[in-house]
Chains A and B, each alone.
Chain A
Amino acid sequence: MIKLTPKVDALVRDFVDNKALIRTLTNGFGTPLNIIFPEILSKNIKSFQDIFKKYNLDGKIYYAHKANKSLSLVKQAKSENIFIDVASAKELHDALNSGFSGDEIEVTGPKSSELLILALQHQCIIQIDNMSELKQIVNFFNKLHPKNPVSILIRFSGFSSQDTKVISKDSRFGIGLSEQKNVIDFLTFHKDIFNFKGFSFHLDSNTPKEKSIALENLIQLYETFQNNGLTSTFVNIGGGFKINYIAEEKEWNSFIDALQQAALGTISPITWHNANFGFYNEENRVRGNSNFYEYFTKTAGAKYLDEILSVKLPSQDNTIAAQMISDLMLKLVIEPGRSLLDQVGITVAKVNFVKKSPQGEWLVGLDMNRSNLASTDQEMMLDPIIVYKREDINEKEFGVYFVGNLCLESDFIYKHKTFIKRLPEDGDLVIFINTAAYNMDFTESATIQQKIAKKIVVIKRDNHFHWFEDSQYNPYLLDEQI
């Protein structure tokens, strides 16, 4: 029996155990329903700040709004005195509406003209992805005449190493290193328009070697730009600090082992139509890699930041990254999205039906669809918790597939089988844990006019739960309201 038991925060556990309240909320707001626990954000922020302290770094956290559309989380971030990273005009509106001032906002990602203009008007920090953005900024600057030059960070990509040949994949993001000279010339020519703050990197690969290569490239960039009168004061190492979703490493390993064996055909399939999730059989051996998120990881969140900062740089006498950053007098910017939202939300859906497929597989139909839980076409590999209406039914083992409310063969919430001790029935509730980061609303759609999940904020004070509609929550009003 394959289990993928989720890690559950104590507060979330308390809430899940409060069946009456869950019933009230799901009856009142319908399902799918997203529940958000904004106060868990504080804990996650603190864990990152502890790492800054450990290395005496002047660190700044920019909450990557794209991980969740919730306004309450944006307001919570503001009340925690961190900063925000926005990637669309609407996200920028959210930040401004929640009280962030322009200089507390970093604009990242692919940018429309509308977004660039708004960013200039509010004097946000802009992370530059390409030369065209720089040219557009000059154009808009000359029309808008903002009070101050535009603060920019430049994202470079395509790093290489002097001592190791690393086959690196091409990236759609950032400016190639070979274009350094163009960037320097452009910024020098327009030095009244731009306030160059430094560079932005993404260190999301899981090998220390690649991280050290990126950091060594940063040092080269730092010097080259400085030699041309452009001195960095910030370095942005992006996000990608990960979450560990799974309680037991053993369960995760057994799951991967089972997927590989199923690909080989040595055990019966544990996925719908034996979907391979990246593994395939070639001459009776397993090829390929899993193509989903590593839901179990030993090093996640602040611990992962710690690991990045302690990477040794061979070209710098094995100085660690944190030392190099502080030696160069750089402020460290991180943009955690996922890791900041660890344990912050859950997704609840009513069971619509339970049936057997013509070939004998158990299907549990939920009042939600794949778009309500998927993130960039990836499903969660994490057992949900089932809240049954009726008690006292004998337990045995069932392998079930959770399917959605769309009239599509492909609408599976989980294409991997979940093993449970009791079949649910219609009206029971299925609760997916730890969904706030990218899994709650990243791909949600109102296809065939199915409803989009509402978001309800839940906080706990003096042993009592209080709830708010997402837009009604304001951390600054809590003391008066409760």
Chain B
Amino acid sequence: MKYQHITELIGNTPLLKIDPAVHGLKNIELYAKLEFYNPFGSLKDRIGWAMIKDDLQSIIDKKQIILESSSGNTAKALQAIASVYGIPFKTITNRIKVQEVKSILQIMGADIEQMPGKSECPDPTDPNDPLTHIDTIVRQEKDKYYYTTQYTNEKNIEIHFETTGKEIVDDLGRVDYFFGGLGTTGSTRGTAQYIKRNNPDLVSVGIVSSVDDYIPGIRTITEMWEVGLFEKDFYAAIEEIHSITAIDAMLTLIRKCGILAGPTSGASYEGTIQYLKTIDDTLKEKKTAVFIVCDRFEYYISYIKERKPELFGEKVRADSLSQLKESDWKDVPSIKIGSAEAWVTIHKPIIIDIRSNLAFRTSHIANSLNIPQEQLTKMIDGAMPFSKGQTILFICPVGEQSKRFAMYLKNKGYDAYTLESGIVGWRDAGLALEKIETNRASI
């Protein structure tokens, strides 16, 4: 299929039926609207384009900068489209919590400004949310910015009415239940309004994250009042989902359906199942439900890692260094500070300083070698980087962390020691330290 312009690829995404064996609902056919088929990877491509397309020429003529408060997909879509037209884009946010999302925006060339977090001692006269901050900027330099205002922009609703909702009805006809995550609420409102024209009895359910939890792109119920487009009564129910359950549901979509959905879509799927499970048995006739899969999981690996580290667990050898327990190093061979200098002179050990590179650079014992402990652990667990004839002295800050290394090597038959009370003890005893001269930290 030939296309002339990347924006032509926005919309017309597929609807995939979820196997009843996966969701377990008897009377409901469940479809996933796969929004990650959009060219920039998410549902937000639709609004990114809709919010600026009518004014493109004037933005270019006035040399304006497109401005939005987005921490993810809207910024991605706006940046992609803006780049194609040579328009600069800037996002101001306090919500970027996933490193990859930020890295992706940086690769794409976005100008990101982060708002500071709330202070421990808030100044009562200081409103500090990004939207207020943006308003101030825009008010001060009115012509410089084209502010897309996704949280209040009616085009955000209209585009989902005209495209997302229409596509679903064209493909399925009658739809009885519709589920979507609540961020700006534009997608759920626009889509559901169109479906309602076809079936006034449509039940719309909004998905939010548990309070004090975080799911990318959707809000908690207490944050919803900040959203200009939000109308609580529009939804038959609002389901609160915790990020861990969202990730579990995401894994179901990935591993059982081949849908490489992200955690937010997992939350939508979980909310869908939670809601439908309670009514499935009461139904007398077949019903149809749709939920939104807004984007893919690859952008959220660090987010998933933080919440489900067990997914990434590598098998650890039982006799590896990291398996050595504190109770195992009581009899660690150690050198007392008082005799350390003489001992070093006599035995000429390899001195391994396991602190960070920076700490080593600023201060270390003469003739020592710096291998930070994480690297050293990897080296030792991979293949032992020492030979047996050598005497080895491990240096750490206070003589605690080095114990593990000395003990492990001793158990393996090496002549290894730890410096009791570490480099701090060495310094406090008035023994000499040296530093590497660099130009890095010049004023």
Among the listed stretches A118-126, A149-157, A288-296, which one makes contact with chain B, having 4 or more residues with CB under 8 Å of it? A288-296
Among the listed stretches B171-179, B194-202, B220-228, B250-258, which one makes contact with chain A, having 4 or more residues with CB under 8 Å of it? B220-228
With beta carbons under 8 angstroms apart, the residue of B122, B151, B211, B400 that contacts A253 is: B211
Bound: A323/B354 CA distance, A: 11
Among the listed stretches A12-20, A105-113, A160-168, A398-406, which one makes contact with chain B, having 4 or more residues with CB under 8 Å of it? A160-168
- Answer yes or no: B6 CB below 8 A from chain A CBs: no
- Answer yes or no: A316 CB below 8 A from chain B CBs: yes
- Answer yes or no: B113 CB below 8 A from chain A CBs: yes
The reply to whether B226 and A323 contact each other, CB–CB distance below 8 Å, is: no
Closest chain A residue, CB of each to CB of B133: A167
Closest chain A residue, CB of each to CB of B115: A167
Residues of A within 8 Å of B133, CB to CB, are: 167
Among the listed stretches A279-287, A342-350, A387-395, which one makes contact with chain B, having 4 or more residues with CB under 8 Å of it? A279-287
The reply to whether B357 and A317 contact each other, CB–CB distance below 8 Å, is: yes
Determine chain A's interface SS by DSSP, over half rule: mixed
The reply to whether A205 and B117 contact each other, CB–CB distance below 8 Å, is: yes
Closest chain A residue, CB of each to CB of B114: A166
- Answer yes or no: B427 CB below 8 A from chain A CBs: yes
- Answer yes or no: B397 CB below 8 A from chain A CBs: yes
Number of A-B contacts (CB under 8 A): 159
Closest chain A residue, CB of each to CB of B111: A165
Q: How far is the CB of B333 from chain A (nearest CB, A)?
A: 19
The reply to whether B127 and A210 contact each other, CB–CB distance below 8 Å, is: no
A206-B117, A316-B358 known; A58+B424 contact, CB < 8 A: yes
Interface residues of B in 61-113 (CB under 8 A from A): 92, 94, 102, 111-113
The reply to whether B116 and A167 contact each other, CB–CB distance below 8 Å, is: yes
Query: Chain A CB within 10 Å — which of B92, B121, B152, B211 has the most?
Result: B121
Residues of B within 8 Å of A184, CB to CB, are: 443
The reply to whether B226 and A328 contact each other, CB–CB distance below 8 Å, is: no
Residues of B within 8 Å of A219, CB to CB, are: 358
Binary per-residue interface labels of chain B (362-384) against chain A in the complex, 1 for a CB within 8 Å, 0 otherwise: 11000000001010000000000
A257-B225, A316-B358 known; A329+B124 contact, CB < 8 A: no
Binary per-residue interface labels of chain B (118-143) against chain A in the complex, 1 for a CB within 8 Å, 0 otherwise: 11111111111101110000000000
- Answer yes or no: A26 CB below 8 A from chain B CBs: no
A206-B117, A206-B120, A223-B441 known; A56+B400 contact, CB < 8 A: yes
Residues of A within 8 Å of B125, CB to CB, are: 291
Closest chain B residue, CB of each to CB of A323: B356
- Answer yes or no: B442 CB below 8 A from chain A CBs: yes
Q: How far is the CB of B425 from chain A (nearest CB, A)?
A: 10
Bound: A169/B113 CA distance, A: 13
With beta carbons under 8 angstroms apart, the residue of A165, A256, A283, A328 that contacts B359 is: A328
A291-B124, A317-B356, A329-B424 known; A164+B112 contact, CB < 8 A: yes
Closest chain B residue, CB of each to CB of A181: B443
Interface magnitude class on chain B: 35 or more
Query: Chain A CB within 10 Å — which of B123, B125, B424 has the most?
Result: B424
Query: Chain A CB within 10 Å — which of B127, B151, B358 has the most?
Result: B358
A205-B120, A253-B222, A284-B228 known; A326+B151 contact, CB < 8 A: no
A205-B119, A206-B120, A287-B132 known; A329+B363 contact, CB < 8 A: yes
- Answer yes or no: B44 CB below 8 A from chain A CBs: no
Residues of A within 8 Å of B424, CB to CB, are: 58, 326, 329
- Answer yes or no: B300 CB below 8 A from chain A CBs: no
- Answer yes or no: B299 CB below 8 A from chain A CBs: no
- Answer yes or no: A47 CB below 8 A from chain B CBs: no
The reply to whether A242 and B122 contact each other, CB–CB distance below 8 Å, is: no
Residues of A within 8 Å of B356, CB to CB, are: 316-317, 319, 323-324, 327
The reply to whether A326 and B120 contact each other, CB–CB distance below 8 Å, is: no
Residues of A within 8 Å of B124, CB to CB, are: 278, 291-292, 377-378
A317-B372, A328-B359 known; A286+B226 contact, CB < 8 A: yes
Interface magnitude class on chain A: 35 or more
Closest chain A residue, CB of each to CB of B424: A329
A257-B222, A287-B226, A288-B132 known; A249+B212 contact, CB < 8 A: yes
Q: How far is the CB of B294 from chain A (nearest CB, A)?
A: 23
- Answer yes or no: A222 CB below 8 A from chain B CBs: yes
Interface residues of B in 314-348 (CB under 8 A from A): none
Closest chain B residue, CB of each to CB of A207: B117
- Answer yes or no: A443 CB below 8 A from chain B CBs: no
Residues of A within 8 Å of B401, CB to CB, are: 56
Q: How far is the CB of B421 from chain A (nearest CB, A)?
A: 11
Q: How far is the CB of A228 from chain B (nearest CB, A)?
A: 9
Q: How far is the CB of A375 from chain B (nearest CB, A)?
A: 9
The reply to whether B114 and A294 contact each other, CB–CB distance below 8 Å, is: no
- Answer yes or no: B17 CB below 8 A from chain A CBs: no
Query: Chain B CB within 10 Å — which of A205, A240, A286, A316 has the most?
Result: A286
- Answer yes or no: B189 CB below 8 A from chain A CBs: no
Q: How far is the CB of A163 from chain B (nearest CB, A)?
A: 9
With beta carbons under 8 angstroms apart, the residue of A298, A319, A329, A376 that contacts B121 is: A376
Closest chain B residue, CB of each to CB of A219: B358
Interface residues of B in 394-421 (CB under 8 A from A): 397-398, 400-401
Bound: A328/B116 CA distance, A: 28
Closest chain B residue, CB of each to CB of A180: B443
Closest chain B residue, CB of each to CB of A225: B441
The reply to whether A165 and B114 contact each other, CB–CB distance below 8 Å, is: yes
Bound: A377/B120 CA distance, A: 15
The reply to whether B435 and A291 contact each other, CB–CB distance below 8 Å, is: no
The reply to whether B132 and A328 contact each other, CB–CB distance below 8 Å, is: no
The reply to whether A298 and B212 contact each other, CB–CB distance below 8 Å, is: yes
Bound: A231/B225 CA distance, A: 51
With beta carbons under 8 angstroms apart, the residue of A56, A224, A263, A323 that contacts B443 is: A224
- Answer yes or no: A226 CB below 8 A from chain B CBs: yes
Interface residues of A in 32-87 (CB under 8 A from B): 56, 58
- Answer yes or no: B440 CB below 8 A from chain A CBs: yes
Residues of B within 8 Å of A454, CB to CB, are: none
Residues of B within 8 Å of A324, CB to CB, are: 356, 358-359
Residues of A within 8 Å of B226, CB to CB, are: 260, 285-287
- Answer yes or no: A469 CB below 8 A from chain B CBs: no
- Answer yes or no: B423 CB below 8 A from chain A CBs: yes
Q: How far is the CB of A41 from chain B (nearest CB, A)?
A: 20
Bound: A271/B317 CA distance, A: 61
With beta carbons under 8 angstroms apart, the residue of B102, B113, B222, B230 that contacts A285 is: B230
Binary per-residue interface labels of chain A (203-243) against chain B in the complex, 1 for a CB within 8 Å, 0 otherwise: 01111011000000001101110110001000000001010
The reply to whether A329 and B129 contact each other, CB–CB distance below 8 Å, is: no
Bound: A378/B400 CA distance, A: 45
With beta carbons under 8 angstroms apart, the residue of A240, A285, A298 that contacts B120 is: A240
Closest chain B residue, CB of each to CB of A254: B222
The reply to whether B440 and A260 contact each other, CB–CB distance below 8 Å, is: no
Could you list 10 examples of A-B contacts with CB < 8 Å?
A: A164-B114, A165-B112, A181-B443, A223-B362, A257-B225, A291-B122, A291-B127, A316-B358, A317-B357, A378-B124
Inter-chain pairs besides A169-B116, A289-B118, A328-B358, 6 sampled, C-beta below 8 Å = A58-B398, A167-B133, A204-B119, A317-B357, A317-B372, A329-B427
| Residues of A near any B CB (own CB < 8 A) | 56, 58, 164-169, 180-181, 184, 204-207, 209-210, 219-220, 222-224, 226-227, 231, 240, 242, 249, 253, 256-257, 260-261, 263-264, 278, 283-294, 298, 316-317, 319, 323-324, 326-329, 376-378
